[in-house]
Amino acid sequence: MIRLFTAPTPDGRKICVMLEEIGLAYEIEPRDQPPSIEDDEVPLELAESGAILIYLAERTGRLFPVERRYRYPALQWLMFQEKDGQRLGAALERRLGEAEFLAGAYSIADIAAYPWIVRHAEYGLSLDAYPALRRWAGAIGGRPAVQRGMAALKAPA
């Protein structure tokens, strides 16, 4: 059982999406903090959303490519950070104009980026200006596990 301690933020949502994608049992303990997990099976306590995504992917052997030509682009996009919505949209548009997903195949990089794109869209980033990004966001958002993971953490009313 994975225990996730987090607030309803994009970083918390990406962990929920990952847990839904890989099918591990988890429970959420709401806390006003960046995400951290405890894994009863190992035992392990771990913080930082990128490290958590890598750990969960390696634990299950899913969503983190092994082949270097895909693995390192996945790491690059997992660690990519841009707070400005327009620059984020432009960077992702360039990449997604070349590939279906950020690392070529659906991976932890897409899981990490999607909640931030949703958040920026909620705050005025128009995906109409970014057709490749809009296509990608529709594909990611249409995945049942992504829908469950995003709904698992509701923002306070």
Can you list the domains of the chain with their CATH numbers?
Answer: 2-152 (1.20.1050.130)
Do the Cβ atoms of 78 and 112 come closer than 8 Å? yes
Packing angle of the helix pair 49-60, 108-122 (nearest 10 deg): 140
For the chain, the straight-line distance linking the first and the last C-alpha, in angstroms and rounded, comes to 29
Other C-beta atoms closer than 10 Å to the C-beta of 151 total 11
**How far apart are the C-alpha atoms of 136 and 139, rounded to whole Å?**
5
Count the alpha carbons within 13 Å of 70 in the hemisphere toward its beta carbon: 15
Beta bridge partners of 39: 2, 44
Instruction: Name the pTM for this structure.
Output: 0.95
pLDDT tens for the chain, 157 residues long, are 999 999 999 999 999 999 999 999 999 999 999 999 999 999 899 999 999 999 999 999 999 999 999 999 999 999 998 888 889 999 999 999 999 999 999 999 999 999 999 999 888 889 999 999 999 999 999 999 999 999 998 765 5
